Structure 1
Amino acid sequence: MPLHYLRSLRSPSVTKQVLDVGGWRNFSAGGKKKGSKGGGAADAPKESTLSKEVKSTTVFGANILKEGSDPKILPDSEYPDWLFHLLDKRPALSELRRKDLKTLPYEDLKRFVKLDNRVRIKENNSLKAKN
């Protein structure tokens, strides 16, 4: 058997039988169907069947329970004030260092101490790691 296998590999025409005996595999070209040109309408996003009115009044996907429905969007007056300030930009440490600490509001002072401590801890850790 091995001699036959070696002789067949020397010949210019390697047959499928030899490849099967050798343990080689033939894989398909990506699972595409014959005659398929690829990508067209199947890859396009499907258009939503919900009306614009329903989309603007409901938070879809927020209901995590099996029964019940998605919550409705309420007017801004129904939500707490702090909710609208969550995405406000907060000053960086370099900006806080340039300001006078005595005149900073409490929230900015608290942020300064937190960021300054974080930088100091990282510096101390890097010094200890090099020794």
Structure 2
Amino acid sequence: MPVTEAKVRIDKWLWAARFFKTRNLATEAVSGGKVHLNDGRVKPSHGLKPGDRLRIRKGELEFRIEVTALSERRGSASEAETLYREEPDSIAAREARRDERRLQHNAAPQPHGRPDKKARREWRRLTGK
């Protein structure tokens, strides 16, 4: 449901594009400096227009996108994907980070069932509990 207006609030757009689950989370991210518009910090009420470039940080992930359409309403995920275009190097960096996390998870030793008495004592000795 693209909007024909010239500008839409950045927090509304981030929510409509499904980068954040609620508008409040989008507002907090913009206010907290996690979202940059054209390499500068903005307020949540700042107007967004097609062609603007956004850098969005969510935890370890970073999205670098270009706004292609505006919307004030949250639609389906397929509709949300039409509102922006992500840069290829941003996609590659996120996939590389995902693969790195997957390798780290597989390399970590996994516990085998419930700890026995000796393992519990060792854990208490190490943690001080």
Normalised TM-score (structure 1): 0.23
Q: Whose relative contact order is higher, 1 or 2, with alpha carbons under 8 Å and at least 6 apart?
A: 2
The structure with the greater share of residues assigned to strand is: 2
The structure with the greater share of residues assigned to helix is: 1
Higher-Rg structure is 1
Normalised TM-score (structure 2): 0.23
